Amino acid sequence: MAFLKYLSTLLFLLFLFEIHSQINNDVKEAFIKSYHEEQLGLLEKASETILSYYSDKNYEINYRLAWLHYRMKKYSSSIQYYKKATLLKPKSTEAYWAMVQPLLAVENYSALNQCYMNILKIDSKNSTANYRVGLYNYYHKKYSLAKKYFTHVIAVYPSDFDALHMLGWTHYFLGNFETSKAYFIRALIIQPTNESVLSGLRLIK
């Protein structure tokens, strides 16, 4: 009796495994078809092919749909699919970086800044995210916050012209003129004819 119960359980598990394998194979074929349709410029069809196997628990499907909707200029739905992807892989920055493009397209700079902040929660030393958060705060005249993020950039890349240049201006608006001058001089070593740096130095003198 125990053996029959064991055999029944084993057969049931094999049945489930076979179904799961078939589903995975079908999804793989759907992706192949979708890529081909995308190459032909049939973006709606490429999206519909993937949607046939949609699961809110599948990272690759949500990521793929987000990309296709971005290409179709359906930016709001693209962003939503990318958000679902970030929840499915919370330790990954991939979907956050991809989300940048549709957020730029709709000019939602507040959400874009939050996107970069989420990247920094995972990858705190990422120079691109630190620089862009610094820029966001600089243009919102939050100079102390801008300084913090630009400083993170040069801690990793001491010769980064853009961060040195922005630190020069950030310290200028904070009233730290000697520090501002020092950053402008460092930036000038990298780009000796940069007019923005030269104009900053002229203001201090």
Which CATH architecture does the domain made up of 27-111 adopt? Answer: Alpha Horseshoe (1.25)
Please, which pLDDT band fits residue 2 given cuts at 50, 70 and 90?
low
Same fold? 27-111, 124-205: yes
Contacts of 76 (CB under 8 A, 6+ apart): 102, 106
Asked if the 124-205 domain carries CATH number 1.25.40.10, the reply is: yes
Residue pair 145/158 in contact (Cβ under 8 Å)? The answer is: no
Q: Which residue has the higher pLDDT, 9 or 163?
A: 163
Q: What is the pLDDT of residue 184?
A: 98
Q: Which of 89, 88, 132 is nearest to 109 (CA)?
A: 132
Q: What is the pLDDT of residue 7?
A: 40
Q: Which of 167, 164, 125 is nearest to 146 (CA)?
A: 167
The pTM of this model reads: 0.85
Q: How distant is the alpha carbon of residue 126 from its chain centre?
A: 11
Helices and strands counted in the chain (H then E): 11, 0
Please, which pLDDT band fits residue 205 given cuts at 50, 70 and 90?
confident
Q: What is the pLDDT of residue 4?
A: 43
DSSP code of 99? H
Percentage of the chain surpassing pLDDT 90?
Answer: 84
pLDDT at 24 over 90: no
pLDDT at 142 over 50: yes
Please, which pLDDT band fits residue 27 given cuts at 50, 70 and 90?
confident
Mean pLDDT, residues 147-170 taken together: 98
Domain boundaries, the chain: 27-111, 124-205
Residue 56, token pair as written in the block: 């809110």
Q: What is the pLDDT of residue 15?
A: 40
